[in-house]
Amino acid sequence: MTIDFMKIGERVRENRRAKGQTQAQLAEAVELSTEYICEIETGRKKVSLSALSRISEELEVTIDELLSGGCSEDTSIRAMAVVMRDCTEYERKVLCDNMKSLKLILRDNSIQ
């Protein structure tokens, strides 16, 4: 099995951006250099397990999600919580209503 460090980096970037962090903020939080975070995100460096563990904790995702893109129910709920963290009550209601509507559309169209 080969490890796709480019994909891992893309997932780190996506999750960092979803949390609203800059590379510098993530680097500071996990005690790594901004340059190293940039190199991880672009696939130029192979991230260590220790660094990946700290990054996953900071981004509030599982290591599995960063490695394979897996999205368990737990991971999905945490991802939604991150998105909604700074929303107003009205924004949360609109997002929830839209999510319910999208679920029905997906099921009605058998989209999996």
pLDDT for the residue 68: 83
Residues 64 and 95 in one domain: no
Instruction: Choose among 33, 2, 97, 21: nearest CA to 61.
Output: 21
What does the alpha-carbon distance between residue 23 and residue 34 come to, in Å, rounded to a whole number?
A: 6
CATH number, position 34: 1.10.260.40
pTM over 0.75? The answer is no
Q: Please give the distance of CA 64 from its chain centroid, rounded to a whole number.
A: 11
Amino acid at 34: T
How many structural domains is the chain composed of? 2
pLDDT score of 2 more than 80:
yes
Q: Which domain holds residue 102?
A: 83-112
Cα(106)–Cα(33) distance, integer angstroms: 42
Whether 24 maps to a domain, the answer reads yes
Same domain, 15 and 46: yes
Q: Are residues 64 and 94 in the same domain?
A: no
My answer on whether 43 and 92 are in the same domain is no
Residue 90 lies in a domain: yes
